[in-house]
Amino acid sequence: MIDAEAMPFIADIPRVQAARIPDNVALWFEGTETTYRDLDTRTNQIANGLIALGVQPGDRVGYLAKNTDVYYEMLFAAAKARAVMTGVNTRLAPPEIQFILSDAAAKVLFVGKEFYAIIDQIRDQLPDLVRIITIDGDREDWDYFPSWRNAKPTAAPDRTPQADDDVIQLYTSGTTGRPKGVQLSNASYEAFFRQAAMLEWSSYGAGEAVMNAMPLFHVAGVNVGVLAIAQGARAVILRDIDPGLILKLVEEQQIAYAFWVPAVILMLTQHPDVETTDFSALKVVSYGASPIAESLLLDAKRIMNVSFTQLYGLTETTGAGTYLPPQAHDPAWGKLRSCGVPWPGAIVRCVDAEGNPVPTGEVGEIVIKARFLMKGYWNRPDATEEAVKNGFFHTGDAGYFDEDGFLYIHDRVKDMIVSGGENIYPAEVENAVFGHPGVADVAVIGVPDDKWGESVKAIVVVKPGETVTPEDVIAWAKERIASYKCPKSVDFVSALPRNPSGKILRKDLREPFWAGRERRVG
């Protein structure tokens, strides 16, 4: 159970838990255990180190590495220093990483060995960066994290967190290809904690093991670990998604709670060890980021024999919004296609273009009003004003409520593609493809994919006299944007459908691929 009264700020969590359960294990990572006492001490040291480097309240601290236990040391330390943890998507291309670190004006960067070459490539384009600290060593020109941390004072830093302090900044893809920094504050998380405490899926017991497998540059990955530590549970952190290792740790670590996206659940159900894995300690599997196929859900329920809870939320809503409780996963309820009901303190509506609620059963844009909404988009007041109107965050998703108050996602008001839990905007991919010398025009859409929910398809018009292959287009894009955003397939047409004002009619392009499907998103 989360004690929001005792821990109103993110920075309070390690201090309070160290006083209550100092010898309990807070973090498990590749066989290394960190107690709550150690977590509190180390976060004090890192905070003092950041302050000594000139990090001021509100400054951003970057993290470019795979999942590690020290991510949480850095997160809580940044909060103690009143700085802001900025995790960077490790799947991005160097120009995208450079943009995010520059936009955040990150003063300090913690980096894993897999990304040293990228930082070397873009270092000259990061004028705000004053110090690089390696998690894995092997760089004489950069500080080595354990040595740097351990040389710092252990006393709590002399800074008092405030409710309005940003604590986490995560970047979401922009509709025109420019990522936006989502500001999540202490106040956002305090509201998130209070509401999560009312829900079964997120009420972890002290000492229970919680699997933290999803990427820490996503709000879902961060939230699993923060919820675990805030409740005195043991966060079992995985560096990468490895189905065999996940199944092994479920049994060895006696995992009680886990969050897996549907693509990971599919990998687990198809793994040869799944039928012999002991799931007896597992209580709840929560899932989200993309809908799940009913057949997959029923297979997973049969194999694991645990409760499932679907979660629908966005980075801008601190990952919260609606949830489909375990009992509604009974096929007899007829709700398996729903993403559930609103969180206790949230108002969720489907509205028309003027912002008026639409009648039950009619499709409208999903909007969410709650105290856990983001503070805004970093240095983007125009984008914030466009997204949050009259206190409601406009999700860009289209859906409807049934007569029982359950929400169903139908389509997207915007054209965003969700593939394996990653948000991909067509305009960003189109911008990457357009520069190809043989491409006269291009449109990007999401098409059904049984594994990832949706995959990216480019529909290309070739310049007269040029010869272009799908492989040419895909290779060109991979040099400019992250691989997961690149087209997985390419079709060629003589012309793209456009309306009288010249806008591409993506719905017309998507229609043949989604025909006959009740839900028009993955």
- For 68-120, the pLDDT digits (tens) are 999 999 999 999 999 999 999 998 989 999 999 999 999 999 999 999 999 99
The predicted pLDDT at position 318 comes to: 97
The predicted pLDDT at position 424 comes to: 84
Report residue 427's pLDDT band, with 50, 70 and 90 as the boundaries: confident
Q: Which CATH code fits 12-240? A: 3.40.50.12780
362 SS3 class: coil
The predicted pLDDT at position 499 comes to: 62
Report residue 37's pLDDT band, with 50, 70 and 90 as the boundaries: very high
What are the extents of the domains in the chain?
12-240, 345-412, 417-514
Cβ neighbour number for residue 68 with a 10 Å cutoff? 22
The predicted pLDDT at position 501 comes to: 46
- For 26-35, the pLDDT digits (tens) are 999 999 999 9
Q: Which helix (H) or strand (E) holds 50?
A: helix 36-52
The predicted pLDDT at position 321 comes to: 97
Report the chain's terminal Cα–Cα distance, integer Å.
34
The predicted pLDDT at position 133 comes to: 98
- What's the burial of 65, exposed, middle or buried (CB within 10 Å: 0-12/13-18/19+)? buried
Find the range with the poorest average confidence among 210-219, 338-347, 351-360, 415-424. 415-424
Q: Check if CATH label 1.10.540.10 holds for domain 417-514.
A: no
Answer yes or no: is pLDDT of 522 > 60.
Answer: no
CATH superfamily of 345-412: Luciferase; Domain 3 (2.30.38.10)
396 Cβ contact list (under 8 Å, min separation 6): 365, 412, 413, 414, 416
- For 377-390, the pLDDT digits (tens) are 999 999 999 999 99
Q: Which helix (H) or strand (E) holds 269?
A: helix 262-270
- For 388-402, the pLDDT digits (tens) are 999 999 998 888 999
Cα Rg of the chain (Å, integer): 23
- For 42-56, the pLDDT digits (tens) are 999 999 999 999 999
Q: Whole-number mean pLDDT of the chain?
A: 92
Report residue 518's pLDDT band, with 50, 70 and 90 as the boundaries: low
**Which conformational region is residue 69 in: left (phi greater than 0), alpha (psi within -120 to 50 degrees), or beta?**
alpha
**HEC-encoded secondary structure of 346-357:** CEEEEECCCCCE
Strand blocks (E) in 220-305: 234-237, 255-259, 284-288
Mean local confidence (pLDDT), 246-256: 98
- For 332-379, the pLDDT digits (tens) are 998 988 999 999 999 999 999 899 999 999 888 999 999 999 999 999
- For 297-339, the pLDDT digits (tens) are 888 999 999 999 999 999 999 999 999 999 999 889 989 889 9
Q: Strands 84-87, 108-111: parallel, antiparallel or unpaired by DSSP?
A: unpaired
Answer yes or no: is pLDDT of 176 > 60.
Answer: no
